[in-house]
Structure 1
Amino acid sequence: MTDTIWHPDLAQFPGPKYLALTRALREAIREGVLLPGVQLPTVRDLAWRLSVTPGTVSRAYQMATQEGLLAATVGRGTFVAAAEPRLGPTQALFVDREPQAAPGLLDLRSPQLPDVGQMPLFAEALRRVAGQVGADWRDYPTQREETALREAVRDWLGDRVLGPVTPDDIALTHGGQSGIGLVMFCCLRGDRPVVLTEELAYPGFRHAARLARAEVVGVELDQHGIRPDALEACCRKHLPQVLCVTTEAQNPTAVRMPEERRAEIVAIARRHELQIIEDDCYTVAESTLPSMRALAPERTWYVGSLSKTVSAALRFGYILCPTGRGEAGRLTAQHAFFALGRPVSDLCLDLFRSGQAVEIRSRVQSAFADRLKAIVNGLGAHDLVWQPGLPFVWLRLPVGWRTSSFTRTAEAEGVLLRSADEYALVHGRSPNAVRLAIAGQVPRARLEAAVDRLSRLLVSPPSELPV
């Protein structure tokens, strides 16, 4: 069926707008206003009609999908679900590839790796790999063949403070999200385990937890990251098994957790027997702070990938397992997919050994640094949080602006941003802020012009804001 014209009155439902919209969906379906098979408006279209953020609509659609009221089909849209139950996930996973923006819009919702000459280097590496194809490409890959690649990963991470690491501590994965999911499968037990995340966090944490049938609970943040008192309270109340945390580059707030706070979190994790997933996929260019893996090697699973520094298309990631748990991590990976496919593993090994992976990473970080300078120069007078080497910044909005109004007005000015509520849990708090990612594939002059438009909006909110 075609897209239905549905325009609910959210004023009749008290509370946050995403909950009001969820209730409106539930009521419309129950009363037969929305029939099974009816296609709902797109997230952006309904957000525009209701004068709310796309994140508000996305959260409502997600809640209704989890309840079985809606069904999301990649490439087709969101529909009122049929009566029979759905099996498996019911919504496409958030990834860093957004729907195509309208012509003329600058998309700052997700980072884009700059073109620093990766493609010729990849082609050169593929030619070298092609010359080494043998009979072992005919059979199933095995983890025994990954030993040299695990050694290369250890060397790749040599600039991080990770504590003692051996190749036996490492498990290889199909990207960072795959690594997070594998740790969940390895660590979670029982019918309804609990996973803790930061109250604003990368959505992939909660997707992986829910796929493992876990309940997700958010822990409050402050200017240094997770609050120890809030973590202690959550541990006492919920008896969690896993804590997901980003220490170097909290996504989306760009906060780096100081060493003292890391030590406090580790002490609480030990007291409550928590396993820690330390996500370092959005890694900073340089760090001398000890990682959670260095501070608590007996319980920290350090996850990283090449997606943000070399290529997201390779789908290559790694887990530094807790000391003595490397075999457990690799066995979990083996049960999931045997081992990495030979084309990916051989190509990545060549990129590491030739030094081209390091060369690409350096070029990418330099290009990101140049564009980050443009953003900081243009918005530095505002409440901006950023770090050298990160491909995104966190902008707290001034009095006079609401997140929904600012994102809509910015879009009208030709700039797409990601609102804070897209990182909040369903019942979590959402601050008045937005994340700006670096568009690495656009000319710097165009980025500067967009930042200038945003700066003018921040200091001069319109007298009549949409509500």
Structure 2
Amino acid sequence: MFEDFTFTAGDVPIYRQIADRIANEIGEGRLAIGDRLPPQRDIARMARVNLTTVTRAFADLQQRGLVESRPGRGSIIADPSINASFKSSPVDEQGFIDLSVNRPATSGYLEALAVLMPQLADDRRYAALQDFHAPEGPAFAREALSSWISPISCVEDPSQLIVTNGAQHGLACVLGALVRPGDCVLADAITYQGIGALCRSLDLSLKPVAMDRDGMLPDAFEAACAAHNPSAVFLVPTLHNPTTITLSAERRTQLAAIARKHGLLIIEDDVYRPLKDSAPPSFIATDPDITLYIGGLSKSVAPGLRLGAVIAPRPMVSDIAAMLRINCWSTSPLNALIATKMIEDGLVARVIAGQRTEFHQRQAIVREVLSGFDVMTDDASTHFWLQLPDPWNGNAFTRAASQVGVGVLSGEVFAVGRDSIAHAVRVNVGAARSREDLRHALEALREILTSGRRLFDTMI
């Protein structure tokens, strides 16, 4: 990368030119998330500069969130979704509209919480909030969550449910308890970015499986099982993140049969399902002995309510609970009681109904404004997947969108391996403060698409 690099004279210091060169390689997709950079001494030798200059370049890259250091692994390309600085508001003081993260489309949760909070002290379970609880979670929360999920899971026994600090925490506990370091996990070639970060942190090998517009391809799944001898497969079967695909009943049956044939566990991330009016039966309902079901309230109610659930076959519950106890002892009983009351009082159902209605309205705006472009979406989805025309790639489009005041998330973040990188971006429709803000942001994105990359490359 640096042996033939010529530094330019002028106001840009050499360390910044080195940092910009690496940033450009990342932006063009030639360096992918998790790639390890050469040691700083080697870069200094190749670039014919002193080590201090390279150290300053790496510090600059770390400040930008592009590179991170790992003990024993040197410097690697960072996952931007993990290092993102999430804003507390979808619109900042400069008018930047951040559609890169999921936020509630309505204020329904806050309104429900305002009604609920004055009632908590009178609840019979209130006194238990100051005590320790079992790692599986308070019994009242397990019962409430089990009752809420049972129409989807067909599992009515609360003893099979573990309460977690959100779905990501549940996924971490499942992987940490049931998959050994060095084992292989399969996933869609394009999938939820959190699984990649978790696998890297747990020293698991995440391998991609080819997919089409209907989801994971059974033939590719069969081939990956034979090639990699995996321990588990990770699936987001309903309103897939980021593509919004919902697997058909036939595709689910095919994938489950292959997983059973090869002795795989199915990790079913189903956090978006409550927003979908109807969907085929879940894996936990049809194949409960090999499925770990992960649900939660963050996507359908509010991310600020950090409460998720894992439903597991009985023999696996104690191992998952032990992993939870090791990393956080137990979940917050206050959050658990808030969620329990909201479920019991019908507030969760009311909030979700409001979210669903709003998402339908916002997705109609998406279809109107971006008509003619390759948009994958669903009326109930929190987001959509915009496949970019040539010569755009995800990182370049993300930078161009930022220049016009709109935040989106590059498709590179969701790629499992370099060969899986899609020229696409994920855009969250709920993140806009209003439908008018969403329309404004989408019109800005349409302008980028119609103007072409060459114009915006001159601006960046």
| Alignment TM class, shorter chain as reference | 0.7 to 0.9
Structure 1 residues 95 and 401: alpha-carbon distance in aligned structure 2, compared to 1, 3 A threshold: closer
Whole-angstrom distance in 2 between the partners of 1:363 and 1:459: 34
Identical amino acids, percent of aligned pairs: 23
The whole-number CA distance in structure 2 between the counterparts of 1:96 and 1:177 is 18
1:159-170 equivalence runs, <5 A: 159-160=151-152, 162-170=153-161
Matched, 1:28 2:43: yes
Counterpart of 1:350 (choices 341, 344, 347) is 341
Do the aligned residues in 2 keep the contact of 1:371 with 1:440 (CA within 8 Å)? no
Say whether residues 1:18 and 2:7 are aligned partners. Answer: no
Of the structure 1 ranges 195-204 and 409-418, higher mean CA displacement relative to structure 2 is found in 409-418
Cα deviation, residue 142, structure 1: 2.6
Equivalent residue number for residue 413 of structure 1: 404
Alignment of 1:62-141 (within 5 A): 65=70, 68-70=73-75, 93=82, 97=86, 103-132=94-123, 136-141=128-133
Residue deviations 1:179-235, cap 9 Å, x none? 00111122113x511111221121211222233221221222212211222222222
Residues 280, 34 of structure 1: alpha-carbon distance in 2 compared, 3 angstrom cutoff: farther
Name which of structure 1's ranges 242-251 and 2-11 shifts more when overlaid on structure 2.
Answer: 2-11
Please list the CA deviations of residues 260-291 of structure 1 after superposition, one character each: whole Å capped at 9, or x if unmatched: 11111111111111111111123342223011
Q: Which amino acid aligns with 1:179?
A: G
Q: Corresponding residue for 2:60?
A: 41
Matches for 1:420-439 after TM superposition, within 5 Å: 420-439=411-430
Does the Cα contact within 8 Å between 1:420 and 1:431 map onto a contact in 2?
A: yes
Matched residue, 1:50: none
Q: Distance in 2 between matches of 1:279 and 1:335?
A: 23
Q: Match for residue 150 of structure 1?
A: 142
Residue type matched to 1:140 in 2? F
Instruction: Tell me the SS of whatever aligns to 1:197.
Output: strand
Of the three residues 246, 258, 264, the one matched with 2:248 is: 258
Query: Residue 260 of structure 2 corresponds to which residue in structure 1?
Result: 270
For the 8 Å contact 1:143–1:338, the answer to whether it is kept is yes
Where does residue 319 of structure 1 map in the other structure?
310
Q: Distance in 2 between matches of 1:424 and 1:336?
A: 28
RMSD of Structure 2 on Structure 1 (CA): 3.5
How far the C-alpha of 1:357 sits from its partner, in A, is: 1.6
| Pairwise CA distance, 1:238 | 1.6
List aligned pairs for 1:389-408, cutoff 5 A: 389-408=380-399
Note if 1:217 corresponds to 2:207.
yes
Does the Cα contact within 8 Å between 2:186 and 2:234 map onto a contact in 1?
yes
CA change 1:118–1:274 in 2 (3 A) is: same
State the 1:135 CA deviation.
Answer: 5.2
Give the equivalent residue in structure 2 for 1:51: none
Checking the alignment, whether the CA contact within 8 Å between 1:13 and 1:23 is kept in structure 2 is: no
In the alignment, the residues of structure 2 paired with residue 111 and residue 320 of structure 1 have an alpha-carbon distance, to the nearest angstrom, of 24
- Is 115-124 or 356-365 further displaced after alignment? 115-124
> What's the offset of the Cα at 1:320?
1.6
Match of 1:195 among 172, 177, 185: 185
The total of aligned residue pairs comes to 434
| Pairing 1:279–2:269 present | yes
CA contact (8 A) 1:10 1:24 kept: no
Distance in 1 between the 2:412 and 2:331 partners? 35
Residues 147, 135 of structure 1: CA spacing in aligned structure 2 closer, same or farther, 3 A cutoff?
closer
Q: Which residue of 2 aligns with 1:84?
A: none
- Which among 228, 245, 251 is matched to residue 235 of structure 2? 245
Tell me the equivalent position of 1:446: 437
**What is the CA distance between 1:398 and its match in structure 2?**
2.2
Q: What one-letter code is carried by the residue in structure 2 that aligns with 1:319?
A: V
Distance 1:315 1:136 in 2: 19
The more displaced of 245-254 and 19-28 is 19-28
* Structure 1 range deviating more: 309-318 or 119-128: 119-128
Q: Contact 1:176/1:316 (CA < 8 Å) preserved in 2?
A: yes
**Is residue 2:184 matched to residue 1:233?**
no
Distance 1:404 1:339, change over 3 A: closer
Which position in structure 1 is the counterpart of 2:352? 361
The structure with the largest helix share of the pair is 2
* Cα deviation 1:141-179 (Å, max 9, x = unaligned): 23587233222212322553x334421221111100010
When residues 454 and 237 of structure 1 are mapped into structure 2, their CA distance, relative to the original with a 3 A threshold, is same
Residue 210 of structure 1 aligns with an amino acid whose one-letter code is R
Residue 87 of structure 1 corresponds to which residue in structure 2? none
Normalising to structure 1: TM-score of the pair? 0.81
C-alpha change, 1:120 and 1:286, in structure 2 (3 Å) is closer
Task: Compute the displacement of 1:347 (Å).
Answer: 1.6
Instruction: Check 1:349–1:179 CA distance in 2 against 1; reply closer, same or farther (3 A cut).
Output: same
Tell me if the contact between 1:253 and 1:393 (Cα under 8 Å) persists in the aligned partners. yes
Tell me how far apart the structure 2 counterparts of residues 25 and 370 of structure 1 sit (CA, whole Å).
Answer: 51
Note if contact 2:137-2:331 (Cα within 8 Å) is conserved in structure 1.
Answer: no
Contact 2:133 / 2:330 at 8 angstroms: preserved in 1? yes
User: Closer, same or farther in 2 for the Cα pair 1:228/1:330, shift >3 Å?
Assistant: same
Of 312-321 and 102-111, the range deviating more from structure 2: 102-111
Task: Give the direction of change, closer, same or farther, for the CA distance of 1:288–1:425 in structure 2 (3 Å limit).
Answer: closer
Q: Relative to structure 1, is the Cα distance of residues 6 and 242 closer, same or farther in structure 2, using a 3 angstrom cutoff?
A: same
In structure 2, how many angstroms separate the alpha carbons of the residues matched to 1:29 and 1:99? 40
SS at match of 1:390: coil
Q: CA deviation at 1:248?
A: 0.7
Q: Given the alignment of the two structures, is residue 5 of structure 1 paired with residue 10 of structure 2, yes or no?
A: no
Give the secondary-structure state (helix, strand or coil) at the position aligned to 2:242: coil
Structure 1 range deviating more: 255-264 or 92-101 = 92-101
Give me the whole-angstrom Cα distance separating, in 2, the residues matched to 1:395 and 1:179.
Answer: 29
Q: What is the aligned counterpart of 2:176 among 172, 176, 185? A: 185
The verdict on how the C-alpha distance between 1:387 and 1:268 changes in structure 2, with shifts beyond 3 A counting, is same
Correspondences of 1:286-325 after superposition (within 5 Å): 286-322=277-313, 325=316
CA, structure 1 residues 395+211, in 2 after alignment: closer, same or farther (shift >3 Å)? Answer: same
